[in-house]
Structure 1
């Protein structure tokens, strides 16, 4: 049987009972004792003690406040942020150290090491084992800063009354700290472990105690290993949460963080950023020691790394940045033997593109689509991964591909290799960038081959190549025809429930029904719901696309008289830069006015420091001062500013109400990473403001806002047991509003020509899909059939 803690009060010698003296048995057997056997709780294995445990105890001995010692050395373990917990943990560690030392015959050394503490209130700790003899606590000595602040307050002087060196001399004299340095042997022992920064020089009386503790640490503290279970390092609660995501050991935890990057903690149930950051700060030096370091993308925000790398690349020669690899095309260096100069289908001589290689031809073809940023970006992604496949997989020039190569590429698209797939966000300038996000669906494959075929046709017409080897692949793919899915819409029951949910949520935070005042109980929550109602109503009655909702401005809304009726007409520039007009009802105009009032209250309606304004041509925002000088013949979705972004007579930049977005932001953008004057990435706290000068929303922000609301409606429907299609409602998005508008208009017998104009379709054939003529004809005619018995 293992000896208990009580058996070793003499520093390791076994007690009489452990040497064979056995008490006489009782006449009748005693009732079994409930709970753990005596001494079981105190018995621990030495491998449970780690270096940070000794560092925490040493900090307490040296007078570091328990809270600071906990935050510096043990906070990553988890547990309550409470002084009683810190003291209880210290008491338990004393017991563990003494027990482990006794098992090794080092009980006397443990007695010296744990003789006294300077800042520990013994009553707050768990009751130590009988082998721990803690002497009376020595007086607490303040650190230098605390003592100087106290002296300045007493004498009525400032810090700069004398130099730092003079303050240190007075401090050492006041507490008798001006003693000789400890012996070399003690210094060597102190260097064996990470030593906490002392608030004051160690007292000579503590040197022997600290030397004993460090000697124990060298003997008892077990070094880390990649195979260590997390339970050896973290609290039971943290271990359980990390085990749920498959991180059982230190090696698996490092791999998990490297996989999920800087915001890895979002993948762990109820972990949170604060505890995630503490774990990361503890794990980073440990991982380096174990020769399995954390990646840079796991330790720093992606935007910070992106800016830093962009700053570095800007200082380099562009030619030196190019290489042959799975990299973006703008950083790709192609070997001469496969660059297309001698391709199988190359036409010798000049061509209308004025290019010599396949890569140059690709860039020239993409420039034809640069007037439409979204189309250009989509085509660029498709052509980029196709050309990288040509070089890396087929090892051929683009101008040398034959039809069999394209069949191979189709199989590649359906299941790209893992090293071609990007699992986490990474900028195009980063080494982790990859051309695929995963396998492509059949509809995406069809789009890819359509773009590739268009590329090759364009190169043929330019006189660069003489044949399009992909021309016969697309018809032979036999893929399902993916037309416009007009069933992605709300039915009457779903729409009624969505409106009911909105009203219920708004009643909880909007103006009180019984209150005389119209003040909101929670302004931002109520204003956000009012904006959601505006999105729903505007989308369901005008059919505006997502990009049109965020780029159309108030100046495009005019009061017009049509056939003697005064109505609100909204002029929109939509897909393909095609202008159209839609009708806005009076009650929705009132919602727009209320939303703009909310923006003014929130302070997001105008930001004079921001020079950018979004438009359809450049949703990422263009300079307002360049709007009037825009040479594009296409109409803008809002008028040019009257003051052209210039300052008025007072020197202030004046606001132009016509540039307010129909739907805008209600919160200012958070601070962003930026480069300082030295090119170092830093968080720019002054950068928080509007996304553009008049508070326009990013399309993704509007999309996610509506998705969250519709997700809430779905959850409420399931909880209430509503007989509606919950699954479909959970998939609803902003584009469902456009289909809902068209389906509702068709059901109300709106003329197809009017619906075509309102939707902005280029062909009546597209609009006729909503009429469901074929379906109605089939149902009407087939219902005439007589059932045969």
Structure 2
């Protein structure tokens, strides 16, 4: 099996000392092996292959594996299978301040010599990276490839507060401002009309469906199903979990408008394979999650520029927004509209209702109001 990592670091480029064949953390002889891989690139590639059916997860995990592999052999001068707890601590420091050569903006985002960092990783991104790598090492230990994982010694950081709330969303008033600013886009040329219609549909589709960007990219017209007069969207999310997303008549009217613009039938065909989100000129090939993400970011950037002169605070918040903000915004607005929390859980396909509860802001707002409301001043007799 060819390794997904070979396009960046080939086995032929690694000396025997760096290949991991004799790594100091390799499982001793006699331990039952579940995989045949006998070097780090092949073993890490096999772990990645487990996620071949989830493109978004695959790309994210491959990025973290490649970063660690290059850092291990180029910076620490040792194979991944020789990394210790001290190395993991040093790697976390490296992620917080990678050298300029690793963040060269002149390098492409793809290919053998691509840029691996856009810049230093924040605390949350570092935690995510280390969590992914901990999963990699646990897999290799269970496979009988490694003797142990240096990540198991990681200190468990206390959670800040017993209950989180989601703040990466646009409140209802700001969302209305976003839609209004989008409707003010110029539409004098065919190209401007194409950009407007696509941005208009993408924002509404991601907001109403609360899909992850990878799910939206995979959606085709035969995923839209009408049952007892109501529209639903079938999707397959994380871990292959299937879901049925309720769609409003208003969104289907927006979909019909979008399809008419490209001279398609207003209603999706039951057996049709046309993507839900088309290319700029109506091409039928599917867009990648990265492309859709960039469309959304560019749309929010243009809207933020338009809002800047009116309210710099609003503009700053819109400029930070992304595809996942639309998912959070949808869930928050559903909660504020009184949608039962278990329905929101089903719409977002959360395994735990505790995850869904981070979108319930009404309780905090009520507590704030009751605490800070003006109280009558009692007169004190002289």
Common fold: TM-score over 0.5: yes
In structure 2, distance between residues paired with 1:585 and 1:356: 53
Q: Does 1:462 align with 2:52?
A: no
When the two chains are superposed, the root-mean-square deviation of aligned CA atoms in Å is: 3.6
Task: Tell me if 1:571 matches 2:230.
Answer: no
Match 1:417 to one of 72, 76, 99: 99
Residue 760 of structure 1 and its aligned partner are, at CA, apart by 1.9
Relative to 1, partners in 2 of residues 1:540 and 1:399: Cα closer, same or farther, differing over 3 Å? closer
Q: Which of the numbers 260, 280, 292 marks the counterpart of 1:597?
A: 260
**SS in structure 2 opposite 1:581?**
strand
Pick closer, same or farther for the CA change 1:387–1:442 going to 2, 3 Å.
same
2:10 aligned counterpart, secondary structure: helix
Could you report, residue by residue, the CA deviation over 1:202-259 in whole angstroms, capped at 9, with x for unpaired residues? Answer: xxxxxxxxxxxxxxxxxxxxxxxxxxxxxxxxxxxxxxxxxxxxxxxxxxxxxxxxxx
Matches within 5 A, 1:431-510: 432-433=113-114, 435-475=116-156, 486-505=166-185, 509=187
Distance across 1 between alignment mates of 2:8 and 2:194:
43
Choose the corresponding residue for 1:713, options 272, 293, 303.
303
Q: Residue 581 and residue 409 in structure 1: after superposition, are their counterparts in 2 closer, same or farther (change >3 A)?
A: same
TM-score by length of 1: 0.42
Partner deviation per Cα, 1:468-489 (whole Å, 9 max, x = no partner)? 222113537x7979x9873222
Which runs of 5 or more residues in structure 1 are unaligned?
1-317, 510-520, 606-637, 642-657, 669-689
> C-alpha distance in 2, partners of 1:412/1:661?
41
- Please say if 1:772 is aligned against 2:361: yes
Checking the alignment, whether the CA contact within 8 Å between 2:304 and 2:315 is kept in structure 1 is: yes
Q: Which residue of 2 aligns with 1:556?
A: 223
Whole-angstrom distance in 2 between the partners of 1:421 and 1:369? 27
Which secondary structure state, in structure 1, belongs to the residue aligned with residue 105 of structure 2? coil
Of 265, 272, 276 in structure 2, the residue corresponding to residue 662 of structure 1 is 276
2:286 matched to which residue of 1? 696
- C-alpha spacing 1:453/1:785, structure 2 compared with 1 (3 Å): farther
Matching residue of 2:248: 585
Give 3-state SS (helix, strand or coil) of 2:146's partner. coil
C-alpha distance in structure 2 between counterparts of 1:358 and 1:709, whole Å: 42
Question: How far 1:767 moved relative to its partner?
Answer: 0.8
Are 2:337 and 1:752 aligned? Answer: no
Residues 1:732 and 1:464: Cα distance change in structure 2 (over 3 Å)? closer
How far 1:522 sits from its partner (Å)? 4.3
8 Å Cα contact 2:165-2:361 kept in structure 1: no
- Structure 2 equivalent of residue 400 of structure 1: 82
* Deviation at residue 433 of structure 1 after TM alignment: 4.1
The 1:474–1:454 alpha-carbon spacing in structure 2 relative to 1, beyond 3 Å, is farther
Q: 1:542 & 1:413 partners in 2: Cα distance?
A: 34
The Cα offsets for residues 142-190 of structure 1, whole Å up to 9 and x where unpaired, read as xxxxxxxxxxxxxxxxxxxxxxxxxxxxxxxxxxxxxxxxxxxxxxxxx
Offset at residue 747 of structure 1 (A): 0.7
Shift of 1:381: 1.9
* Equivalent position SS for 1:659: coil
- Structure 1 residues 712, 448: closer, same or farther in 2, change over 3 A? closer
Aligned length: 369
Q: Which runs of 5+ in 2 are unaligned?
A: none
Distance 1:484 1:580, change over 3 A: farther
Deviation at 1:449, TM superposition (A): 1.6
Higher relative contact order (CA 8 A, sep 6+): 2
Task: Kindly state the Cα deviation for residue 442 of structure 1 after the two structures are TM-superposed.
Answer: 1.7
SS of alignment partner, residue 600 of structure 1: coil
Give the TM-score of the pair, scaled to structure 2.
Answer: 0.82
